[in-house]
Structure 1
């Protein structure tokens, strides 16, 4: 949990968001922001679960600052970013002439969220370390002969470069997976998604 409003994101605030989520999906928005989402939910086949999962990701961020392995990190990335892809597909729409399964389009959207979050993590290693957080898989750091101390002290060594190249390669694999689904979206939705993939 970071950003300018991080200090306001507390377990109590997340409980409140969770309750408001239930209300707005039931057509009882609290404010204009809720009203916008409530309107979206009433006009598109948006599922509430990814929104709940995103809140769970914020809860995870409040109690966890290390990830033992990539499985743990993947789950975090799903909660805080993969969910965005799942939220977006119903609004963007699948092209009427698409021969792809809905499942494959949603999988590609999920992959884009994961890729973006992995990129955030790699970009923000220094910033996160100053907040006492390491979002890199602990087992992979150890396998590379690295530790949290290397992260906190900003040691850029050959071992670090090799480790980071591996992390970048994995993020690119998710971007490659995401790209497969872009051309299955409605034509008006493709360019914004492609731009996010290319520019991230």
Structure 2
């Protein structure tokens, strides 16, 4: 087992906590760092939302290896070593090893909801891509990255969400496919993150928008780094926003197959996260000086609409 000290900046303190206390820590961290996502989880039964909070915190720890303030000053070799240690730690966690409070809630989640290992390993591989790929030539290149860092979350979550019994017991149940829709929702969310965070990412030397599309709209990498907003930029962003909406639309087909107690929170999260795209438009595509977000009052207003959608089959 890899020692905790080799990646102490991202592995939680091994302070002994009860399972209930550990889940409460996951809840608090999810509420603090993912407010829109957190609101959707509150609509789930306790057992399911606790599992989703645990998965969220594991994903956040994985992301922090690359994107924490401390990571910015570390050499590439050290970050790769920390990712290798985190992968080994994760493999051991899936074998039932518990060394930290996060391990405790994750082992409970793994066994309670039959979590597959591969999506977790794929996400770690996505973090490695951030060390080797600061630019993406085409969308096909970017799509692989989006799958690894976010589509995988859909695969982690679908076992927790569950499938409606009326589909699993039906003669055609073998044709019911939710994994593709779950991955599509993750990719849609990541594309939204990319568009929202263009200004922040450029400060880290990263450009996620496909270079061939940047050039195709008559814009340039240097203009992006300088934060230039012109008609070419607006047209480029409008194109990217439509693509993200198309991925959200692709994900909607799988929501109706989910267990009844999961459909409302998934619809809520989907619609609220998609709302960030409209906020970018409302800000005249200025993602260099403004961070797009959905106001709390809009989130509350949307809840009944999402509930109505969740009742349709």
The separation in 2 between residues aligned to 1:78 and 1:33, in whole angstroms, is 24
Partners in 2 of 1:126 and 1:100 — Cα distance?
A: 45
2:303 — aligned with what? none
TM-score (norm 1): 0.94
Residues 78 and 110, structure 1, Cα contact 8 Å, conserved in 2: yes
Q: State the 1:192 CA deviation.
A: 1.7
Query: What runs of 5+ residues in structure 1 fail to find an aligned partner?
Result: none
| Offset of residue 166 of structure 1 | 0.7
Larger Rg: 2
Aligned match of 1:118: 191
Q: Which residue number in structure 1 is paired with residue 133 of structure 2?
A: 64
Alignment partner of 2:254: what SS? helix
Change (3 A) 1:109 1:100: farther
Q: Where do residues 164-175 of structure 1 align in structure 2 (5 Å cutoff)?
A: 164-175=237-248
**2:257 partner SS:** coil
1:46 counterpart = 2:119: no
For residues 3-33 of structure 1, give each alpha carbon's deviation from its aligned partner in whole angstroms, at most 9, with x where no partner exists: 4564478112111111111111111122110
Distance 2:269 2:250 in 1: 14
142, 146, 153: which is aligned to 1:84?
153
Question: CA 1:140–1:101 in 2, change beyond 3 Å: closer, same or farther?
Answer: farther
CA distance in 2, matches of 1:102, 1:23: 34
1:2 maps to what in 2? 67
Match of 2:180 in 1: 107
1:142 to 211, 215, 225: 215
Instruction: Spell out structure 1 runs of 4+ moving beyond 2 A.
Output: 1-9, 98-104
Relative to structure 1, the CA distance from residue 179 to residue 50 in structure 2 (aligned partners, 3 Å threshold; closer, same or farther) is: same
Q: SS where residue 97 of structure 1 aligns?
A: helix
Indicate conservation of the 8 Å contact 2:176/2:257, yes or no: no
Residue 151 in 1 paired to residue 220 in 2?
no
Q: Would you say how many aligned residue pairs link Structure 1 and Structure 2?
A: 200
Unmatched tracts of structure 2, length 5 or more:
1-65, 274-313
Q: SS at 1:191's partner residue?
A: helix
Kept in 2: contact 1:20–1:29 (CA 8 A): no
Give TM-score, length-normalised by structure 2. Answer: 0.61
8 Å contact from structure 1 (residues 69, 140) kept in 2: yes
Cα–Cα, structure 1 residues 14 and 72, in superposed 2: closer, same or farther, change >3 Å?
same
Which of 127, 135, 138 is the aligned partner of 2:200? 127
Of the two structures, which has the highest relative contact order with CA contacts closer than 8 Å and spacing of 6 or more?
1
Q: Report the aligned-residue RMSD.
A: 1.7
Structure-1 separation of matches of 2:176 and 2:268:
22
Judging changes above 3 Å, is the alpha-carbon distance between structure 1 residues 5 and 106 closer, same or farther for their aligned structure 2 residues?
farther
